[in-house]
Amino acid sequence: MTGPVARIDLDAMRHNLSRVRELAPGSPVVVAIKANAYGHGLIESAQALVDADAYGVARVEEGLQLRREGVSKKIMVLEGFASHAELMLCQGRDFELVIHDISQITQLEDYLTSERTHHASQDDAAFVVWIKIDTGMHRIGIPAGESRAAIEKLRQLPNVKLVGILTHMASADDRKSDYTQLQLQQFESCIDPELEVSIANSACLLNWPQSVMGWVRPGIMLYGASPFSDSTAADEGLQAVMTLRTHLIAVHELKKGDAVGYGGAWRCPEDMRIGVAAIGYGDGYPRHAPNGTPVLVDGKHAALAGRVSMDMITIDLRNVAQARVGSSVVLWGEGLPVEEVAAAAGTISYELFCRLTARVKFRYEGKELLNHL
Ligand SMILES: *Cc1c(COP(=O)(O)O)cnc(C)c1O
């Protein structure tokens, strides 16, 4: 069978969670499984990570999907709700909703007022919330200077339980930047002795121990990729989880000067062999990956030669004398760190993982050890 297969090593995922525990002993862990667990499969990943303390998703719909699958664990919705209708969907789902904007507090207030008139019981109107504080990233979050007022406001709302405050770091993946330290100082000014705290994503866990307090929120490291541009997963004590593989479906002997693929983006510098592998941007392989982007053919280093097509890529086989139709081609994973591919393609591992399409077949290993949700 041709066509790309993503092998997902769930034991490696579990190993990476144990690495989080090592780095944050005593901290409860919210595993970020938003965006289909960074492209690894929401339910399988949730099952593999069942020892976590909570699941973190971006949107309400993702939380609902987990509940529909029978997940009873705590679910943190990192963007919270966006409308009255979504609040209604959240009711009784036992979510922890992140409030990042004053408008959400108003919505919550309005919702509770109108629902009181409609519901005899007030119990099912209870919402558990966190406040996200903007300490300098300027994406989402209530400005640090307004956090005290927001905390007070939420404390006054009936049927709302405020459990904690969190923030997100803009430059934690940059070891040389002092911005993380500045954001930490901002955050410290907002700490309330009665509230939980949460700061650390993967880069914080691996590089900023001073940010590791309260709840930690790892994502990318669970999937066995380094958040830094100067290290690989192995350097960080992590194991690659995804290996994306396909096969050669054609091999050509070309002459010096022959053009390969759309636009002739590769011209053979000498007589050479070109392999054609069954994967393309229709599977999520990045079209912007240039000539020279690394791949493994039969375990040996080779490189893209020519533009990525929808269903195929073309590969310089000068380094792989034994390559033939049917040879295995690894795009990233075992033997080829995803970070190297991401760097060559001018992107990050997060995006490579997330963009895989439904045409890629997923095979899970280590599944026999999965617990039921
Ligand atoms: C996605 C996300 C994380 C996880 O980040 P990684 O860099 O993948 O570790 C943590 N916190 C929030 C709010 C997120 O949205």
The DSSP line for 93-117 is S-EEEEE-SHHHHHHHHHHHHHHHH
Pair (195, 259) in one structural domain: no
Contact 97 CB / ligand 1 (< 6 Å): no
Is the residue at 6 inside a domain? no
Q: Say what the pLDDT of residue 115 is.
A: 78
Same domain, 196 and 253: no
Which residues, in sequence order, are bridge partners of residue 329? 246, 297
8 Å CB contact between 350 and 220: yes
Please report whether residue 154 resides in a domain. Answer: yes
The answer on 249 and 210 residing in a single domain is no
Task: Please tell me whether residues 256 and 209 are part of one structural domain.
Answer: no
Tell me which DSSP letter residue 236 carries.
G
CB of 164 shorter than 6 A to ligand 1: no
Q: Which CATH number does the domain housing residue 140 bear?
A: 3.20.20.10
Structure token pair of residue 185: 């100082």
Atom from ligand 1 closest to the CA of residue 168: 13
Q: Do 145 and 275 belong to one domain?
A: no
Residue 250, token pair as written in the block: 């054609």
- Read off the tokens for 251: 């091999």
What is the sign of the dihedral through the CA atoms of 145, 148, 149 and 150? positive
In a domain, 102, yes or no: yes
Residues 178 and 282 in one domain: no
Task: Give catalytic status of residue 300 as yes or no.
Answer: no
Q: How many domains does the chain have?
A: 2
219 Cβ closer than 6 Å to some ligand 1 atom:
yes
Residues 207 and 317 in one domain: no
Please report whether residue 43 resides in a domain: no
* Residue 217 in contact with ligand 1 by CB distance below 6 A: yes
Do 296 and 287 touch, CB atoms closer than 8 A?
Answer: no
In this structure, the answer to whether residues 266 and 145 fall within a common structural domain is: no
**Residue 34 is a catalytic residue:** yes
Same domain, 137 and 247: no
Closest CA to 78 of 167, 208, 186: 167
Is residue 6 within 8 A of residue 360, CB to CB? The reply is yes
The pTM assigned to this predicted structure is 0.95
- Does any domain span residue 221? no
Instruction: Say which CATH number the domain at 330 has.
Output: 2.40.37.10
Distance in Å, CA 30 to ligand 1 centroid? 10
* pLDDT surpasses 80 at 117: no
Kindly report which listed range (117-131, 143-157, 221-235) carries the lowest average pLDDT score.
Answer: 117-131
d(CA 22, CA 17): 9
Of all atoms in ligand 1, which is nearest to the CA of residue 202? Answer: 9
Q: pLDDT for 5-23, tens place per residue?
A: 999 999 999 999 999 999 9
Q: Are residues 200 and 267 in the same domain?
A: no
> How far is Cα of residue 276 from the mean position of the Cα atoms in its chain?
30
Looking at the structure, tell me whether residues 247 and 209 fall in a common domain. no
Residue 204 lies in a domain: yes
The whole-number pLDDT of residue 308 equals 98
Taking the CA of residue 173 as reference, the ligand 1 atom at the shortest distance is 7
Residue 35 lies in a domain: no
Ligand 1 centroid distance, CA of 32 (Å): 6
Report CA(220)–ligand 1 centroid distance (Å): 8
Average confidence (pLDDT) over 157-175? 96
* Domain membership flag for residue 192: yes
Same domain (yes/no): 61, 186: yes
Tell me what the mean pLDDT of segment 23-47 comes to. 97
Ligand 1 contact, 32 CB (< 6 A): yes
Task: Give residue 276's domain range.
Answer: 242-365
